[in-house]
Structures are given as structure tokens and as C-alpha cells.
Chain A
Amino acid sequence: MSKVTDIFKSPVGRKLLTGITGLALTLFVIGHLMGNLTLFLGADAFNQYASFLHELGWLIYLVEAGLIIFFGFHIYMGISIWLRKRTARPVKYEKYASRGGKSKQTFSSQTMIITGLVLLVFTVVHVNTFKFGAGWAGEPEYTTVVDGQEMRDLNKLVFEVFQNEFYVIGYVGVMILLGFHLRHGIWSAFQSLGTINNKLSLMIYTAGSILAILIALGFLVLPIWVYFTGGAQ
């Protein structure tokens, strides 16, 4: 392999990229989840956490730029692998079935492209709702003061958004799909990076599945909790 661009063509290179970006996104999501869980500690804690992030300055821009690039590559690779699969078998089977046993063909693995695309749409909407939502431009009604410091009242926005049952249902749904994406994804990424051997395989598959469920659960209790408790605030 001579050129860097060849990595996009090589079957191993493509999976390496998917795997690295997938794992990085997973790390982001875990971090994001931890941050979001500060909501349970109260409005101030959450707002403080958010403003702390913003004060990182160039660092946060770097992370954001990274995120965009990682998302970009991840999506590009995911779609391109899927497109190649379609040309690799021009005539479909009349009858196709999984043998079961050690096969990892599950609802999760078979729907990666769908759950992925839903996540894509979700992320756009989501970032628009929160990051660029009310308070982005420094509107005073979405500003709060904690410990003498003025900052954006993201907590208020979150609580407002999740008063809407459509948002709540939508989020819960997407979080479940995220869980599915990761149930195959986490294990798969380790396999793509060539880190798995016979003995580790089952262990990582199980650990990945558990982590995926935890991530999905962690995210989806938030909107539900807010919906049922937030009105009373």
C-alpha cells in the first residue's frame, strides 16, 4: 500500500477507520452520558459542568472539530461498506437464513446501517435543539448565576424540551437504537482493530453488550425522569 488514500480502498483499512472512529464516538458518548448524569445532582451542578466545558476554550473547539471529522469518516465508511456489500452479491438468494450457533447475525448487526442513519438524523436535530437552542445567543432568560458566575442555563432548556412527550418518546426510541448500534458495534470495533483472539472473543462480546445496554439505559432515564419530575419544579 503506497498512498494514504489507499486506506479507503483496503478492506482492512476501511474497517480500521470504522473501528477507530466508532470507538472514539463511543468514548464521547460515554463522556457525554457522565456529564448529562450531573442533571441528577441539580441544576447548578449541570450548568457548572457545561460552562466548565465551554471555558476550555480552544480545547473544546479542537474536540468539536475532532468529533465532526470522526462522525464524517464513520458515516462515510459505514455507508461505503454497505454500498459495496450490495454490489458484491448482485443476485440475491431466494431463501436466506442464518445458521445460528456462533453466528453474530443479530437484529443489532443486521441493522447497523439503519440505526446509524437514525443516529445521524438524531444528532443533527439534537445539536440544533440543545447546542444551538435557546440560550446559545446569550438570551438573558436562559442565563443563570452560580457561585457568582454568570453562565448559560442549559438545565432550563433541557427541562423545557423534555416536557414535550414527542421529544421524550423520540429520545427514548433513539437511545434504544443507539443501544442496538453499540451492542454489535463495540465488539465489532475490537475485532476490526485485530485485538481479539479466540479466548477474548466471547468475553468482549458480552462486555460490549452490557456496556451498550448501560449506555442506552443511562441516556433514556434522563428524559423520562425529567418528564415525570420536571413539571413539578
Chain B
Amino acid sequence: MTIHLKVWRQDDAQSKGKLVDYTVDDVNPDMSFLEMFDWLNEKLILNGENPIEFDHDCREGICGSCNMIIDGMAHGPEKATAACQLHMRHYKDGDTIVVEPWRAKAFPAIKDLVVDRSALDRIISAGGYVSVNTGSAVEANTHMIPKDESDLSFDYATCIGCGACVAACPNSSASLFTGAKIAQLAHLPQGDPERGKRAVNMVDQMHKEGFGDCSNFGECEAVCPVEISISAIAEMRREYIKGQF
């Protein structure tokens, strides 16, 4: 099938970008969305043009590298699917697809669809861990954790750090990402003594990075490839309040 693309091209952070039209013929319905880009890039290279840059690595929806706004939606229209797991069989011959990078002040542009998401790492380094040095751990079965709690913690732990929540949020808030880590650890006995400090430091860092506030739009949950629930954000607020005392 033939697919028309409008792809955001931008040389670097300083230059202004724009949407450029491309047509890809002989797209196979079994191709993944990124494979279509590979295909197009091969042709661009042979034509002496610069290929489209985009981040990707695992291509199985777990590393969180891929980041594309596809037709206005982070990771595209399929529910619980990262861009790398989106397949062309969901499109029709002749469709036009608009592809843009994640956009937020806290995610400065690098090139084409590639942006700098290191702000998310800095939020984790502000407190998203349990302070335990190698070798000082107690026997693993010392703490018994009810299965429900452990499962809930796991649900939050599955965040792949892609930043789609930020990209889709009308306010560019990183609350779902930050909340997911805070909520994961809040359901475990490990690291309990530093719970309050953790929440306060991570939230403060999020603010410093220039992310917006959360107006509870819930768009983040809808685009999250692993469907982290916005109850993580409520938990983040609870932990933050507790952290004040």
C-alpha cells in the first residue's frame, strides 16, 4: 500500500523545523511503523538526502526509546502500544499520517524526531530509589509483602520511562512518570524511612525541570503504553503531603 507522511524535520535545537511531505510506496501491512521509517530512510539515503532521525532500540515496547507523536497522539492511535509495536495493518492504502517529536520545554529538541529526555533521569536521581548499598541487604524473605500490595507496586513499576505522558499532557506535566515511581516504592516496606523525603525531592525536581502542573486531564493514562493509572498521581500527592510532616 501507499502511505503519505508529513514528518517533522529539524536540523538541530537552534533551527526552526517544519513538516515535510513524503510518500512511501509498497508499504507491507505486516511492517511495523518504525520499519516503514527504515524503508523510507533507505530510499532517502540512496537519493542523497538525509534520513529521518528517530530514537528506538528494543523495538518490542520495553526500553522506552521510541517517541513519536502520530496523528497528534503519543505513540499513535492503538491502545497500550508503543510506537515500535504499532503495525501498518492498522492503516489503509492512501492514508496520510502526521509524525512529530515529543514537545515540551523540558524535552529540548536534538534533531528531527529526537529529543533530550534526560530530565526524567534527573527526577529519578532526586530520590527514585531505595538507599541500600551493595552487600548490606537483608535476606530476601525477611519482609513479607501481601500479594495484592506487591502486585499493585508492580503495576506502577512497569513504567518504561518513554515520556509519552509528558508529550500527550496538555500541560506537559511529568506527573504520571514521577507518580509511578513514587507509588511503586510507597507500596513496599523497603525504603520506607525515606518515603517522605523521596516524594518531596522528586516532585521539586520535576518542577525545576520546567514540566507543567497536572490539571488531571488523564490523557497521560490513555497514551501510556503500559497503562499506568493516574491513581499514581493521587498517590504522589498523598506521599508528598505526608512528607511534609
Query: CB atoms of A and B under 8 A apart anywhere in the complex?
Result: yes
Binding site for B on A (CB under 8 A): 1, 9-12, 14-16, 81, 84-85, 87-105, 109-110, 112, 184, 187-188, 191-198, 201
What CA separation (Å) do A100 and B234 show in the bound complex? 21
Chain A CB within 8 A of B122 CB: no
- Tell me which of A96, A101, A197 contacts B231 (CB under 8 A): A197
- Tell me which of B72, B170, B215 contacts A95 (CB under 8 A): B72
What CA separation (Å) do A184 and B215 show in the bound complex? 10
Task: Decide if the interface of chain B is mainly helix, strand, loop or mixed.
Answer: mixed
What CA separation (Å) do A110 and B219 show in the bound complex? 11
- Tell me which of A1, A11, A87 contacts B214 (CB under 8 A): A11
Nearest A residue to B97 via CB reads: A95
Task: Decide if the interface of chain A is mainly helix, strand, loop or mixed.
Answer: loop
What CA separation (Å) do A78 and B237 show in the bound complex? 18
B72 close to A191 (CB less than 8 A): no
Stretch touching chain A among B27-35, B37-45, B134-142, B198-206: B198-206
Given the interface pairs A85-B172, A90-B105, A197-B231, the reply to whether A103 lies near B213 with Cβ below 8 Å is: no
- Tell me which of B79, B172, B216 contacts A192 (CB under 8 A): B216
Q: Give B206 Cβ to nearest chain A Cβ, in Å.
A: 6
B231 close to A93 (CB less than 8 A): no
A193 close to B237 (CB less than 8 A): yes
Stretch touching chain A among B48-56, B86-94, B125-133, B222-230: B222-230
What CA separation (Å) do A196 and B238 show in the bound complex? 10
Chain A CB within 8 A of B175 CB: yes
Contact flags (1/0) for B209-245 with A, using CB distance below 8 Å? 0111111111101110000011101111110110010
Chain A CB within 8 A of B116 CB: no
A109 close to B216 (CB less than 8 A): yes
- Tell me which of A97, A102, A109 contacts B73 (CB under 8 A): A97
B219 close to A98 (CB less than 8 A): yes
B216 close to A187 (CB less than 8 A): yes
